[in-house]
């Protein structure tokens, strides 16, 4: 198959989406794509100031 890598990637994604849907295709890709950094540290830093109260206020559409 003499297709360029970009075209193979595009066609492959289209087939995955057709067969698995967007969520399933994304899950499949994530099985093989290596992540970067330290996920746990990044998540802790991202949400370090988040509290249940802040989440509830945001869900209700109110501000602090």
pTM of the model: 0.48
Distance CA 9, CA 5 (A): 6
Angstrom distance (rounded) from CA 23 to CA 32: 15
CA atoms of 16 and 52, how far apart (whole Å): 37
CA-nearest of 2, 5, 28 to 16 is 28
Whether the per-residue pLDDT at 64 is higher than 70: the answer is no
pLDDT for position 10: 93
Please determine, for residue 58, whether its predicted confidence score (pLDDT) is greater than 80: yes
Spatial separation of the C-alpha atoms in residues 46 and 34, rounded to whole Å = 21
Domain count, the chain: 1
Range of the structural domain that residue 34 is part of: 5-60
pLDDT for 1-56, tens place per residue? 588 999 999 999 999 999 999 999 999 988 887 778 888 898 899 889 989 998 88
């Amino acid at each position: 198959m003499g297709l360029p890598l970009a075209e193979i990637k595009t066609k492959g994604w289209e087939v995955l989406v057709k067969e698995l849907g967007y969520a399933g295709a994304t899950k499949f890709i994530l099985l093989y794509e290596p992540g970067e950094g330290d996920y746990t540290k990044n998540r802790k830093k991202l949400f370090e100031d988040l509290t249940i109260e802040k989440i509830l206020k945001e869900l209700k559409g109110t501000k602090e």
